[in-house]
Amino acid sequence: MAGTFRIGRLLGFEINVHWSWIFIFVLVTWTFAAGILKDAYPEWTDGLRWTLAFLVATIFFISILLHEMSHSLLARRYGIPVSSITLFVFGGVSNLTKEPDTARQEFWIAIVGPLTSLGIGVLFIILFLGLDPIDHGASDIAANLAMINIAIGIFNLVPGFPLDGGRVLRSIFWSRKRNILGATRIASNVGVVVAYIIMGIGVFTFFFNAVTGVWFLLIGNFLRVASSESYHQVFLDRALKGVPASAVARQDYVSVSPDLSLAQLVEDNVLAGHGRCFPVIVGSELIGLITLSDLKAHPRDEWPTTSVYRAMTPWEKLRTVSLRDDLPEVLAQLAAGDVNQVPLIEGRELLGIIHRSDVLRYIQAREEIDSNTVET
Going by pLDDT thresholds of 50, 70 and 90, the confidence category of residue 215 is: confident
pLDDT, position 376: 42
Residue 375 lies in a domain: no
- Residue 278: give the domain boundaries: 245-364
159 and 48 belong to one structural domain? yes
pLDDT for 370 beyond 80: no
Q: With beta carbons less than 8 A apart as the criterion, state whether 168 and 186 touch.
A: no
pTM: 0.68
Residue 355 lies in a domain: yes
287 and 230 belong to one structural domain? no
The CATH number of residue 299's host domain is 3.10.580.10
Residue 370 lies in a domain: no
pLDDT, position 371: 60
Q: DSSP label at 261?
A: B
Hey, CA dihedral for 316, 320, 322, 328, is it positive or negative? positive
Q: What is the mean pLDDT of residues 130-141?
A: 86
Residue 290 lies in a domain: yes
175 and 83 belong to one structural domain? yes
Pick from 239, 262, 286: which residue ends a domain? 239
Going by pLDDT thresholds of 50, 70 and 90, the confidence category of residue 261 is: very high
pLDDT, position 205: 87
pLDDT, position 32: 87
81 and 224 belong to one structural domain? yes
Which residue has better confidence, 10 or 145?
Answer: 145
86 and 155 belong to one structural domain? yes
pLDDT, position 372: 57
pLDDT for 150 beyond 90: yes
pLDDT, position 1: 52
Residue 70 lies in a domain: yes
Which residue has better confidence, 247 or 178?
Answer: 247
Specify which of 84-88, 222-226, 354-358 reaches the highest per-range mean pLDDT: 354-358
Q: DSSP label at 285?
A: E
Burial track 323-358 (b if 16+ CB lie within 10 A, e otherwise): eebbbbbbbebbeeeebebbbbbeeeebbbbbbbeb
Residue 270 lies in a domain: yes
pLDDT for 231 beyond 50: yes
Which residue has better confidence, 43 or 238?
Answer: 43
pLDDT digits (tens, 9 = 90+) for 16-64: 888 878 888 888 898 888 888 888 888 888 899 899 999 999 999 899 8
